[in-house]
Structure formats: structure tokens, C-alpha cells
A and B are shown apart, each in its own frame.
Chain A
């Protein structure tokens, strides 16, 4: 299972990173979402993988998994929702205000270069 978990985190990271490097806002939002999954899973995994030992105290439990990463990840999930919402809103606001959802200032031909010697 560890191999599956590690590779899943890697796949999510790679996919998220690739999408973050795109030039439009929507794929970047998708990429950030994928990266959030990857980060949350990674943090969660730092408690090591344990099956059938939830951190709920009972009398007949044989042991418990590490509760601390879970508490961290729980808030991280909620916060990453808040972050996604802000990013979505930024993207939407930028699109509505500038009529384009390109995120880079260095797009290939934004403004044609002035002719040398030309007078404005």
C-alpha cells in the first residue's frame, strides 16, 4: 500500500505542477487543487499508514493511529477550500475586468514594439 500511496502523491504533484505552469487561470486553479490533495495526503502520510485503528478511544482497541497529522490535515482541507475560493475569485475578477484569463504579463505579443525612431 505504501508504494501506491507514494506514487499517488507523486502523480498528483506532477499533474498539479504541470497545470500550475499553464498560461490560463482555470488550469492553474485545477493545478492548485491537485497540489492541495497531494500536500494533504503527504501530511497525512507523515503519521504513517495504519489500517483499522482510528484515533477514537475505545476499550477494545488494539492501538491507535497518529491523531496529530489528522488534526493538521483536517484544518488544512478547510483552509485550502478558503484559498481555492479566493483564487477562483481573483481569476474571475481578473477575467471580468480585463477580458482575458491569461495569467502572464510576458505573453508573446501583448503590445507591438514601437518602431525605432518613431514618434509617439
Chain B
């Protein structure tokens, strides 16, 4: 059945969907949960098998979906022989592990979590092997690191589990980062991130000067994942995971992800001396080292872990040889290793489960007690040792054959010798597994009474062992076609496997004989050798890893504590210096063209304004400790800035600046009422000099930049011409600034009034919070430091402000109404009206003014924002976009014809929001004064000679 590639995304997605099942099903019981989880994997496996026939015919199935094409990130999947082999291993062994875990996990373990993590991991692995886009592959790659972290640390209560998980995540995560860099370089070289394109460009990649960096970075990713020397140390520590995890991740799947990627990239990366020496050497060292260490491990799982390291090294070495024949052997050994190692891991779990120990020293004689397990382990271990006719023998013999005719640095002896040396140890530790655990006399001091487990638990390893035997007996029938098609996918050629038990008296035969004989001798001397090994000093990887981690943590702490120590002043200094430096760098790097504008002549009045501004700024710095004086000087500067706006054709800005200036100063005065009047001297001379240098440098840089801009025309045409041309035609107003605010950029203004409203509400909330806290209690007992004026509400001021009030409101209305055509508008009118109201507060006192207040300021803000929003939405009714305005002319007989634009309603919203926000801010501040117990006058004036019984102290109560 030809299905095309349509199943591929479903296969990749099914485990992820399945990961959700346990969360629902776990309440239905453990068996139901395991069953449904199993179904998800099984369904994916069935779909894979439906796609298999086409792949076995040599087709490559593809599925393409654009995701982020601008980044080159597409959801492209492909299935060729290599993908089929790995996906089959992942899903097939995954199903066995789900079955095994059902019986392995105890009642206390949260099984739902376990299955969720397991399927997440399975989905990520399937994603890796099916990806046809290296960016997509990287996403899945990182997912495997994360999900394996969760799986290794599954027993959260065990410190070893947590540490092992952290170590695995650190090592594989760092490798993943390196690989991202390598993959990006690779993608840049080829110009595409699609694997099928990359795989066509061998010459281009190998000729690129970035070939070596890309190769090394990608290999770091592969080596960390596949536990190659010197990154092998995380794998044994990951054995703190439950055994199903070890069997799945650390024998069949995750550690093979690195091998998969090396095989995937083999057509374009291999064949160079760099590839051979890096990959083959690393693999050789790992193989020998892993085998030697494995022999001396007493923990069953540690022994298996190091043997896995050794076998992964073997496969890496074969891939490193760079020949088609070696790649074929590598593929064959991947299959064989997955079968015997997964079953050995599961058997180790069975022994642990039944005997309650994994310590080989405490085991022995189990063959009488656990005959089934004994048979399974014996077959699998013999296969691992390379004893004929099992499948491990076949691939190991082929490996030795390849090694026997590969020269390393022109030396034909070194590789075969070391490979044989590794094989000797491999035989020794495999035999040890049988001899020291199962043979020997029965003991009576096992921690628990061991016996064979139920069928559910040994079914999975037994099935794998059957495969071991079948492949061993009929390799060409069972594994041959798969090996062929996979090797074809790896190499891009058409290799054909000739798997045979007997090749004649070739070197590989003698190497095998030596390995078995020497291995048996080695095991007989194990006790003596182990004593020597344990006495010898060797570097402990965990200690080194911990030291490096600690050093990295310390230096990060140092960096963070130095830069980010909670001092705003320091942030400010670093920020200003860094920005200035960046600006200077940009300035130096890109020289600018000559000036294109003539300087305006200096106007004498503006020159005076400039002098005032500069002197005031200088004085603020010199006298900033006297806070009232500083405020006065700030006002002077504000006025000088307004002057500049007037002179340089910006009447709206000048009006706004002046009114804001007044409000700001009142606000600061109110605040200063409670703050200390003077700033103490705190920073010493060096610090002040440092700050002066930073500030001076920043100021100078800004000056130069401004001057450079001012003396040059726009580099590109400005969009202002459009606004000038359409202000009247489209917006119905001649004041272009106002039309921009309420029409062209009305949406911006809408946002800004919302921000202003929020700011006012924040101020209100802060005040209420402070008043309820210790600050409020302190205020109750607060008394002014200095004597206060006798009449707090002077008669003259009260009278004048009340007279001014209607006039001020009228001015506000006038400014508002003319805003569309002349300087003015909602912002300015709002500020003017707010000032008029403020004057009442200042002259007549807070309580008096508040008593006459009709509306809450919160409501005014809300009404303003709502009005603006409704105006904007009104244009929907006319079928136009939000905030598009329209205008027309109205003629009411006694009045002149006047213009009316919907923008006016919007501007009213702006007006209301500004009034409400300003008033709410000042209201909040002044409510602090009232908390101090300051007496407020109820009557209009403090002093009223006509009133009877004036209070003795001259104040009202």
C-alpha cells in the first residue's frame, strides 16, 4: 500500500497526543492507563509499518508544510531507511517498555506522570528521526533533553536522581547549544535548512572554510548526546532513573540520537581526514575506556551503563571510518545493540526488583532461583560478548574486520590492537554478568527472597532475546533487507550486506578468538585486578563536573552581584556609559556626509533664554541640596524651553509646556511638604567626579548628535508632507498638529490617554496603600518642621481665584474649541481647566473645594476614555475603520456657520481624561496632608470678622 508521506506528521504527533492520555486515564486504574498509553504508541507503530513497504522498495516518503518560511523553518518530514530503522526501534521498544513499566513501577510511584514523560520523550525522538528540516530537528532535539531530564529525575525524592538529571541536562543541553550553532552554520553554507537539500551538497559544504567549525560544533552535540569521551560521564549517573527509563533512553533511543545524527549527516560530513580523526578516534577511546571501566563496576546498572558507553563508542568509530562497509556494520550493530542491551537492562531491573539489590558482590547463584531471567540474561550477555551464533557476534566480527584493515596515522597495528583490547574487556564484563550474578553457590543473605517475576515483566526482555537469537541464526533473512535499505540511506550508495558466521581464517577471526580467551582469563583474575583498580587513583568525573559547575555558578554570581546589585544608581551609570559608548562606536564606524543646511542667525532674545537655561541647569546641580531653590530653577528651565517652542514655530507645544510646567511644580511642592527639605552630602569627591564624567560624556555625545542632525536634511523623504496636504481636505482642520493628534494618529493618542489615566490610578492606589501602612500611621503624628503662615488661605487670593474661575474655564473652552484650526485642543484645554480647579484648592483649602466637587475624578477619567473609544467605534457604524473621522458644517441661525468634526468628540475625551488624571494625582497627594490632621476650613475664608465666636487660634475646626 502506497501511502505517500501523509502518515509522517501523524506518527510524530501521536506520542504527543498520547502524552495527554495518562492524565485522564490514570484514575481508571494503572492497567487501563498503561493500555491506553500503549495504544498511542502502537497506533504510531502501525502507521509506520504501513509506510514501511514503500521505504523498503527504496522510496523516500516526504511531507511538507510551511511553518515559518522566512526563517527557513518548515514542518518537513521524511522517511527513508535510516528513519524507518530508528522510528521502528523507538516505537517498538517503547511499547515493550510501556508494558514492562506497568509491572516494574510500584504502587507508590505516580504512574500517570511516568507515562506522560515517556510519551513526550518518545514523540521528541520520533520527531528527530523523521525531521527533514534541521531547525525542526533542533526543536525536537531540545525536547528530548528536557523530557529525559524529567524521566531521569522521576524519583524526585532521591538526591542521586535529581543530581543525575541535572548533570544529563547540563551536558546534553550544552551540547545542544553547540549543535544549534553548527546547524545554523551548515544552513548558511548551503542556503537551506532542509535536510534533503543539505544532503545534496557535499562538495559545497566540504569546500567551505566553515566546514571545520560546523563539523566540530555538530559533533559536540552528537558526542554529548551519545555519551562519547570526554562527555561520557553523565550516562552512568543517569542510571539513578527507574530501570524502564534506563532501558529505553540509555540503551535503545536517546543515546542513539547522536549516532543517528552522525549517520544522517554522514553523506555530507564524512570522508575527510578531519572527520576520520575526530570521530573514529573519539569512538575508539570511548569504546576501550567504557569497556575497561565496566569490568570493575559492581552495580549491575553501572556495568551496563559503561558497556553502553563502550558500544556507542564502537558504533561511532565505525561511522568515523567513513567507508560504506563500515557504515553498514554500524547500522547492523545499532540494531543488535538495541536488542540485547534493552533486554539486559530490563533483566537488571528484574533482579533489582526481586532481590532488592543491584550489587553484584551481594548476588550470585541466582540460576536456581530465577531460571527464566537466567536464560534471558545468558543469551543476551553472550551476544554482547560476541559469542557465535548470536547477533552480537556477527556485528562485532564485522567491526573487527573493518578495524583490521584501517590504518591510523599510517600505522596499521594501532587500531586493530586497541579494538581487540576493548573486545577483551567486553567479553570479560559480559561473562561476569552471567558468572557473578547467576552462577556460583546459592547464598542465604539476599536482601529479599528472589524468584522469577510474573510473565508481564519478563515478556518484554524475552521477546527481545528471541530477536537476538533469530537475527543471529538468520541474519540475511531477518535483518538483511533493513540493514541494506538503512545503509543505503546513510551512505547514499547501494551497499549490500553479506552477513555470514564464517569468513575463513581472516584476521578478525583470530582477534575474536583472542578476545574470548583473554576475556575469560581476565574474569578469572577479576578479584585481584579489581583490588588494584580500586587502589589506583583516577579522576572522578562527578567531582570535576561539580567543581566546574560550582566555579561557573560562582562567577555568574560574581557577575550578577557586581552588575545587578540592587543599586539603581549603578544601573543608571552602567546604562548611560554603555549607551554613550555604543553611540560613539556607531559614530566612528559610519562617517556622515557634509552639512546640507545653513545655520539660522542667532536671535538675541533666544540667546538670553539659552543663557538662562544653562545657568539654571548649572545652579540646579550646584544647589540641588536646597530642594525648594532647585524647584524654582526647574521652573525657569521649563519657561526657557517653552520660549524655544514659541520661537521655533511650535505654538501648541509652548502652550502645553507652560501648563504642564505649572502642574508639575505644584505637584513637586506638595511632595516636598513631606520630604526632607535638604539633600545630605553622601557621595565623596571621587564618586562625584565619576558621575560628572559620565554625565558630561553623555551630554557631549547628545550635543554632537543633535548638532549633526540639525545641520542636515532628512536622509529620506518625510511623511509630514502627506499630513500637511491632507489635514484640511481629509481631517477638516487647519491646525495640523491637532489633526495629527485626533485624526491621523488618533489611535496613538487613544493609547496615550489610557496610559495617562492608568498613571493617575496608580498614583491613587499607591497613596491609599501608603496611608494604610506604617507611612499613614507616621503621618498622623507628623508635624511641620517650621512655623506655618498665620492665614493659610489669604483673603486676596481666595477672592481673586473665585473671580478668575469662570474666566479660566471660558479660556479653556475657547482653547478647546479652536483647537482644530488654531493652537489649542483637548490636551491644552484640559491642563488649563485643571489649573483653574487647582487654584481653588490652593486658595480655599481642600475640604472646601471637595465639598463642591460634583464628580469623582475616577469617573471623569473613565468617561474621557469611554468617549474617545465610542467616537472611534462610531465610525464602524458608517462602515469605516476605527477612529476614521468625518466632518461637516452646521448652521444654527443666530450663530455663524461653524464646522463640526467627529474628531471634536474624540478631543473631548482627551480633555476629560487629562482633567481627571491631573486632578486625581493632586487629589491623592493632598489627601496625605489631610491625614496629618491638618485642620481644614469649612467656611470660605479663615478670617471672617462678621462671624460670631471666632476660634481662639485663628483656625477653623
Contact with A along B537-579 (1 / 0, CB 8 A): 0000000000000000000000000000111111011001000
Contact residue among B565, B728, B823, B918 (Cβ-Cβ distance under 8 Å from A57): B728
Contact residue among B656, B674, B735 (Cβ-Cβ distance under 8 Å from A95): B674
Determine whether the beta carbon of A13 is less than 8 Å from that of B766: no
Determine whether the beta carbon of B653 is less than 8 Å from that of A77: yes
Chain A: minimal CB distance from B705 (Å): 8
Of all chain B residues, the one with the shortest Cβ separation from A25 is B675
Contact residue among A46, A68, A74 (Cβ-Cβ distance under 8 Å from B723): A68
In the complex, what distance in Å separates the CA atom of A81 from the CA atom of B15? 56
Say yes or no: is B755 at the interface (Cβ < 8 Å to chain A). Answer: yes
Determine whether the beta carbon of B567 is less than 8 Å from that of A70: no
B748 to chain A: which residues have CB within 8 Å?
75
Chain A: minimal CB distance from B202 (Å): 53
In the complex, what distance in Å separates the CA atom of A48 from the CA atom of B699? 20
A24 to chain B: which residues have CB within 8 Å?
679-680, 682
Chain A: minimal CB distance from B223 (Å): 44
Known A-B contacts A10-B702, A23-B682, A33-B664; the reply to A78 vs B568 at CB < 8 A is: no
Chain B: minimal CB distance from A55 (Å): 4
B73 to chain A: which residues have CB within 8 Å?
none
Known A-B contacts A34-B617, A97-B770; the reply to A56 vs B822 at CB < 8 A is: yes
B568 to chain A: which residues have CB within 8 Å?
28, 103-104
Contact with B along A24-65 (1 / 0, CB 8 A): 111111100110011011101111111111111110000011
Chain B: minimal CB distance from A106 (Å): 4
Of all chain A residues, the one with the shortest Cβ separation from B655 is A74
A38 to chain B: which residues have CB within 8 Å?
702
Known A-B contacts A42-B702, A75-B749, A96-B775; the reply to A88 vs B610 at CB < 8 A is: no
Determine whether the beta carbon of A17 is less than 8 Å from that of B699: yes
In the complex, what distance in Å separates the CA atom of A72 from the CA atom of B485? 67
Determine whether the beta carbon of B606 is less than 8 Å from that of A1: yes
In the complex, what distance in Å separates the CA atom of A29 from the CA atom of B627? 11
A16 to chain B: which residues have CB within 8 Å?
695
Determine whether the beta carbon of B614 is less than 8 Å from that of A11: yes
In B731-763, the 8 Å CB interface with A consists of: 734-737, 740-741, 745, 748-749, 752, 755-756, 759-760, 762-763
Known A-B contacts A3-B599, A22-B683, A82-B917; the reply to A17 vs B649 at CB < 8 A is: no
Say yes or no: is B799 at the interface (Cβ < 8 Å to chain A). Answer: no
Say yes or no: is B928 at the interface (Cβ < 8 Å to chain A). Answer: yes
Contact residue among B599, B648, B650, B706 (Cβ-Cβ distance under 8 Å from A9): B706
Say yes or no: is B671 at the interface (Cβ < 8 Å to chain A). Answer: yes
Determine whether the beta carbon of A17 is less than 8 Å from that of B736: no
In the complex, what distance in Å separates the CA atom of A57 from the CA atom of B694? 44
Determine whether the beta carbon of A22 is less than 8 Å from that of B569: yes
B711 to chain A: which residues have CB within 8 Å?
2
Say yes or no: is B110 at the interface (Cβ < 8 Å to chain A). Answer: no
Determine whether the beta carbon of A19 is less than 8 Å from that of B620: yes
Determine whether the beta carbon of A6 is less than 8 Å from that of B641: no
Known A-B contacts A67-B720, A79-B752; the reply to A89 vs B702 at CB < 8 A is: no
A93 to chain B: which residues have CB within 8 Å?
766-767, 769-770, 775
Known A-B contacts A23-B569, A90-B766; the reply to A14 vs B620 at CB < 8 A is: no
Determine whether the beta carbon of A40 is less than 8 Å from that of B664: no
Determine whether the beta carbon of A77 is less than 8 Å from that of B660: yes
Determine whether the beta carbon of B691 is less than 8 Å from that of A44: no
Determine whether the beta carbon of B745 is less than 8 Å from that of A21: no
- Categorize the interface residue count of chain B: 35 or more
Contact residue among A4, A13, A55, A106 (Cβ-Cβ distance under 8 Å from B610): A4
In the complex, what distance in Å separates the CA atom of A37 from the CA atom of B633? 13
A7 to chain B: which residues have CB within 8 Å?
610, 614, 703
Determine whether the beta carbon of B599 is less than 8 Å from that of A21: no
Determine whether the beta carbon of A92 is less than 8 Å from that of B822: no
Say yes or no: is B875 at the interface (Cβ < 8 Å to chain A). Answer: no
Determine whether the beta carbon of B763 is less than 8 Å from that of A66: no
Determine whether the beta carbon of A57 is less than 8 Å from that of B621: no
Chain B: minimal CB distance from A81 (Å): 5
B766 to chain A: which residues have CB within 8 Å?
86, 89-90, 93
In the complex, what distance in Å separates the CA atom of A96 from the CA atom of B568? 19
In B627-680, the 8 Å CB interface with A consists of: 627, 630, 634, 637-638, 641, 644-645, 647-653, 656-657, 660, 663-664, 667-668, 671-672, 674-676, 679-680
Determine whether the beta carbon of A49 is less than 8 Å from that of B695: no
B47 to chain A: which residues have CB within 8 Å?
none
In the complex, what distance in Å separates the CA atom of A65 from the CA atom of B720? 9
Determine whether the beta carbon of B664 is less than 8 Å from that of A86: no
Of all chain A residues, the one with the shortest Cβ separation from B773 is A97
Determine whether the beta carbon of A67 is less than 8 Å from that of B653: no
Determine whether the beta carbon of A10 is less than 8 Å from that of B706: yes
Contact with A along B564-605 (1 / 0, CB 8 A): 011111101100100000000000000000000101111100
In the complex, what distance in Å separates the CA atom of A15 from the CA atom of B616? 10
Determine whether the beta carbon of B627 is less than 8 Å from that of A26: yes
Of all chain A residues, the one with the shortest Cβ separation from B706 is A6
A9 to chain B: which residues have CB within 8 Å?
702-703, 706
In the complex, what distance in Å separates the CA atom of A18 from the CA atom of B806? 43
In the complex, what distance in Å separates the CA atom of A30 from the CA atom of B727? 38
Determine whether the beta carbon of B763 is less than 8 Å from that of A74: no
Of all chain A residues, the one with the shortest Cβ separation from B710 is A2
Of all chain A residues, the one with the shortest Cβ separation from B672 is A26
In the complex, what distance in Å separates the CA atom of A11 from the CA atom of B671? 26
Say yes or no: is B707 at the interface (Cβ < 8 Å to chain A). Answer: yes
Chain A: minimal CB distance from B371 (Å): 63
Say yes or no: is B530 at the interface (Cβ < 8 Å to chain A). Answer: no
Chain A: minimal CB distance from B883 (Å): 15
Q: Which of B679, B694, B735, B767 has the most CB of A within 10 A?
A: B679
In the complex, what distance in Å separates the CA atom of A54 from the CA atom of B823? 9
Say yes or no: is B925 at the interface (Cβ < 8 Å to chain A). Answer: yes
Known A-B contacts A82-B760, A97-B774; the reply to A65 vs B649 at CB < 8 A is: yes
Known A-B contacts A21-B569, A38-B702; the reply to A44 vs B649 at CB < 8 A is: no
In the complex, what distance in Å separates the CA atom of A27 from the CA atom of B672? 12
B184 to chain A: which residues have CB within 8 Å?
none
Say yes or no: is B255 at the interface (Cβ < 8 Å to chain A). Answer: no
Determine whether the beta carbon of B741 is less than 8 Å from that of A30: no
In B906-943, the 8 Å CB interface with A consists of: 914, 917-918, 921, 924-925, 928
* 13 A-B pairs whose Cβ atoms sit less than 8 Å apart in the complex: A1-B602, A21-B569, A24-B680, A30-B624, A30-B634, A41-B641, A56-B823, A77-B653, A89-B671, A92-B671, A101-B675, A101-B676, A104-B568
- Other than the given A7-B614, A17-B698, A68-B718, 16 more pairs (CB < 8 A) read A2-B597, A5-B644, A14-B700, A15-B699, A18-B621, A22-B569, A34-B637, A37-B637, A38-B702, A58-B734, A65-B649, A67-B723, A73-B650, A77-B653, A97-B774, A104-B567
Instruction: Identify the 7 closest CB pairs spanning chains A and B, nearest first.
Output: A14-B699, A10-B703, A96-B775, A82-B759, A6-B707, A18-B695, A105-B566
